[in-house]
Structure 1
């Protein structure tokens, strides 16, 4: 009975350890997925920022051209 008890105990510890490892691996996997999503999000923001800068510059250029032409015409 003593040996049986010990074996049960070892077996439980073994299972706990396995579950613990699986949990950690799963957790790391989830973190990695978040990292990837975050990276994509940052890239996307930079892309939008770039586009907005570009549009804004074109808009200003257009306005300046326009003002310049009006100025010359006068």
Structure 2
């Protein structure tokens, strides 16, 4: 089940990252890869926040934490 969740969330995360990065890069209008920088910083912030939330609230299943952090946000 975990591998299935990683595959699904990884695919969704990759598409979301690609779309957001491209949109941010077009909005910035500069040659510096601001879209990539912004997406990477946002991903790091969300991974840290999600891990803290998951560790403080044990109702969060470990499989979903792994799927969201490694799959979606790490994709």
TM over 0.5: no
TM range (shorter): 0.3 to 0.5
By relative contact order (CA 8 Å, sep 6+), the higher-ranking structure is: 2
Higher-Rg member (1/2)? 1
Q: Which has the higher helix share?
A: 1
